[in-house]
Structure 1
Amino acid sequence: MRDGELNSLCRGLDKAFQVYTQLVTAPIVDNEDLVPPVPVLTRYKKELGIKAFVKKEVVQEVRTVDERKASEITQLTMPKLCVRLNSLYYGISQLSKLEDSINERWVRKKTENINIRRSTSEKSRTVIPNQKNQFDGSRKEINSAIDRLCEFTGTKVIFWDLQQPFIDNLYKNSVAQARLDTIMEVLDLVLNQLCDVIVEQLRDRVVTGLLQASLDGLFRVILDGGSTRVFSPNDVPLLEEDVETLKEFFISGGDGLPRGTVENLVSRVRPVINLIKQETRVLIDDLREVTQGSKSKFGTDSKTLLRVLCHRNDSEASHYVKKQFKIPSSAPST
C-alpha cells in the first residue's frame, strides 16, 4: 500500500466516525423544544394576593412541539441517553489505539521495504511518514457530541420530565408551601438511574449537566415563574436553605461532584437571592439608576431588577413597574 492510499483509508475511517456520531445525536432537539414558553411578565396584584409579569413587546416566541416530536423526546429516556453517551465514549477511547496500531504496522512495513532497498543501494534514503493524529476530526466531533448530549440530558430531565413538579409547581403561591425538598426524592431516583448506566469516565460530565439545568430551573422559577410566584425578603432564608440542599445533594458527602465545581456553579444563583433580600425602595432606586446609564450597586442588569420587582408582593413595587414600565397586572381589574 502506498502512502496516498493509506491516507485515503484514514480519511475514510475518520469520516465514518463522524457520520456515526451525527447519527447518534440526530434525535437530540434544541433547547427551545424542551423548555416551556416563558409566561408573560406581569406585576403583583394585591386584590388577588398574587403577581406576575413580562412586557408584551419582549415576549419571546417559543416553538410549539408537535405531537410526533414530543413522542420522540419522551422516548429518549435516561438509560437510552446514557447508552448513546457510552457508545461515543467507547468510540473516542479507541481512536488512539487504532492510530497506534496503524502507525506501528505502517512503520514496520515501511522499515522492511527500506531494508530491502538498502541491500541493493546503500545511497537510498526514505522518510517514513507519521500516521498520528489522523482522526482529530472525529475526536473534535465526538467531544462536541458528548457535551451536547450531557447538556440535553440535564435540560430534558428538569424542563421536560420534571416540568410539573419543578418548573410548574416549585414555590407556587408561596415559597413555604412548595419547597425544593418535595422534588429531591424524584431527582435522587433520576441520579441513581443515571449512575447505574453511565460509564464512570462520563459520570461527572453528565451530572454537571443535570446540576446546571437544575440551576437554570431555579432561575426560571424565581425570575420568570409567572403569576403564581411571589417573593419577599422574608422568603430569603428558605431560598438559601433550598440552595444549600441542592448543593449538598450534588456533592453527596464527597461521593458526587467536586465541592469546588458545585460551589462555583451554585454561586450564579446567590446574587438573585440577594436581590430578593433587599427592600423594595432599594431595588427601585437601583433600577432607576441603571435605566439612566449608571451601574447597579448589586452588579446586575435592568431586566433582572425588573423581574424581581414584578415578583415582589407589595403595592409599592407593583405601582412602580406599572407607572414606569407599563407592566400589566396578572388579571384585569374588576
Structure 2
Amino acid sequence: GSKQSYIPALPPLTRCNRDSTIIKFWRKASPCGSNLAELDHVTGTNEGHNPRPSTSRGTQRLYIRLNTLHYLLAQINSLEKSLSQNPSLVPPTKHYFINSQRSQSTKKGSYFEIVNTSLPAACQHVSEVAAYRLIFLDSNSVFYDSLYIEDVANARIRPALRILKQNLTLMTTLLVDRAQPLAMKEVMRASFDAFLMVLLAGGNSRVFNRSDHVMIQEDFESLNKAFCTCGEGLVSENVVEREAAVVEGVIELMSQNTEQLMEDFSIATCETSGIGGMNINGQKLHMPPTTGRWNRSDPNTILRVLCHRNDRTANYFLKRTFQLPKRR
C-alpha cells in the first residue's frame, strides 16, 4: 500500500455563507455550545488521563515488519563485514565502458549492494505507510473527523493529543531503537498533513473566523511540543520547526483580514497564470489548480482559506469570481 490510500479525498470547494443552514442548525441543536467532555464521550476518549491507544492491529503488524527490516539490515551489515575479512572471497566484478572500448577492472565493492540499497528504502516506505495509517485511519475519529468541527473553541486538539501520545508510547514500545527516529518523524509529517487538511480541506462542517487563528496557533504549538518531548529527542526541534513551516504559513494566512487575502490571491493567481503585475486589468481570474503542495504563497491555498472564512466579504468575492456554491 501507500500513504495515499489513507488520505481522504478533497471535498469540493464551497463558499462559507454567513449564518448558513448548517450553522443555524448547529446553533439550534447546541445553543450553549458543545464542550470537550461531550467530545470525549462521543469519541470514546473519556478515560481519565490515560486513554487507550487507538493503534490498530494492522498498524502494529507494520511495526513488526519494520523491526524485521532493521534486523535484516543489521545482519547483512554483519555478514558483509565477516566476508570482507576473508581474502579468498572476492566481491562481484564491476564493468566499465571507457572511450567506447570495453575494459574490465576489478574493484572491491559490496557483496550485497542491491540489498543494502533496497532495505533502507523499504524501511522508509513502511514507516510512511504506518504513520499515515495511524493518523488518518486509526486516529481519524479524534483528529480529522473531530478537530474544529462546527466550532473551533469547542472542538480543540486536546482529545487528539491525548490519543496521539498514547499511540506514540505504544509505537516506541513495539519498535526497536534503530527504527524509532524515522517512524516518529513520519508520524509527525502525517499529523501535520492531517492538520493542514482540517484547515484547508475540512469540508462543509468547518468554518473559521479570523480571530480563531489564535486558538489554532496554540493547538499547533501543542502538537509540535508532543513530538519534541516524546521519545526523548527522537525528532530534533530543528526538524520539527522545518516540517512545521508550511502549517505556520497557513495559520498566518488565517490571521490576515479578508481584503488582504483577496489581494494576495489575485496577485498570486496572476503571477502563476502569466498575467503578471499587481493590477489584473479587469481580466477574469482563473481557478487555480489543486497541486497538493500547499503553502502561504500558493493561490489554491489562499483560495481555500477564503472558502473557510466565515465572512460576508469572502462569500461575495467567491460568488462573484468563481460562482462557488453555498454550503448545504
TM-score higher than 0.5: yes
Pair 1:182–1:244, CA change in 2 (3 A): same
Which among 141, 144, 148 is matched to residue 167 of structure 1? Answer: 144
RMSD: 2.4
In the alignment, structure 1 residue 250 sits paired with structure 2 residue 232: no
1:282-325 per-residue CA deviation (whole Å, 9 max, x = no partner) reads 111111222222589x9511101110000000111011011101
Which among 308, 311, 316 is matched to residue 319 of structure 1? Answer: 316
Query: Using the alignment, how far apart are the partners of 1:255 and 1:45 within structure 2?
Result: 46
Structure whose alpha-carbon radius of gyration is higher: 1
The answer to whether the 8 A contact 1:44-1:313 is kept is: yes
Query: Using the alignment, how far apart are the partners of 2:296 and 2:211 within structure 1?
Result: 22
Which among 177, 197, 200 is matched to residue 174 of structure 2? Answer: 197
Matches within 5 A, 1:93-112: 93-105=74-86, 107-108=87-88
Q: What is the match of residue 240 of structure 2?
A: 262
Partner SS state of residue 288, structure 1: helix
Matches within 5 A, 1:1-334: 29-48=1-20, 75-78=57-60, 80-105=61-86, 107-108=87-88, 132-252=109-229, 255-256=232-233, 257-293=235-271, 294=276, 300-331=297-328
Pair 1:188–1:218, CA change in 2 (3 A): same
The answer to whether the 8 A contact 1:103-1:132 is kept is: no
Query: Using the alignment, how far apart are the partners of 1:239 and 1:264 within structure 2?
Result: 19
Partner SS state of residue 259, structure 2: helix
Q: What is the match of residue 118 of structure 1?
A: none
The answer to whether the 8 A contact 1:150-1:209 is kept is: yes
The answer to whether the 8 A contact 1:223-1:308 is kept is: yes
Query: Using the alignment, how far apart are the partners of 2:137 and 2:244 within structure 1?
Result: 22
Partner SS state of residue 151, structure 2: coil
Partner SS state of residue 163, structure 1: coil
Percent of pairs with identical residues: 30
The answer to whether the 8 A contact 1:103-1:130 is kept is: no
- In the alignment, structure 1 segments of 5+ residues that lack a partner are 1-28, 52-72, 111-128
- In the alignment, structure 2 segments of 5+ residues that lack a partner are 24-54, 91-105, 279-294
Pair 1:190–1:39, CA change in 2 (3 A): same
Query: Using the alignment, how far apart are the partners of 2:137 and 2:223 within structure 1?
Result: 19
Amino acid of the structure 2 residue aligned with 1:99: E
Alpha-carbon offset, residue 274 of structure 1: 0.4
The answer to whether the 8 A contact 1:50-1:230 is kept is: no
1:31-82 per-residue CA deviation (whole Å, 9 max, x = no partner) reads 332122221211112242668xxxxxxxxxxxxxxxxxxxxx965132x221
Give the paired residue count. 262
Partner SS state of residue 313, structure 1: coil
1:132-183 per-residue CA deviation (whole Å, 9 max, x = no partner) reads 4121111111111100111111100111111121111100011111101121
The answer to whether the 8 A contact 1:102-1:131 is kept is: no
Query: Using the alignment, how far apart are the partners of 1:85 and 1:255 within structure 2?
Result: 20
Q: Which moved more, 1:273-282 or 1:30-39?
A: 30-39
Q: Which has a greater percent of helix?
A: 1
The answer to whether the 8 A contact 2:59-2:133 is kept is: no
Alpha-carbon offset, residue 202 of structure 1: 1.6
Partner SS state of residue 180, structure 2: helix
Query: Using the alignment, how far apart are the partners of 2:161 and 2:198 within structure 1?
Result: 16
Query: Using the alignment, how far apart are the partners of 2:88 and 2:268 within structure 1?
Result: 70
Pair 1:32–1:261, CA change in 2 (3 A): closer
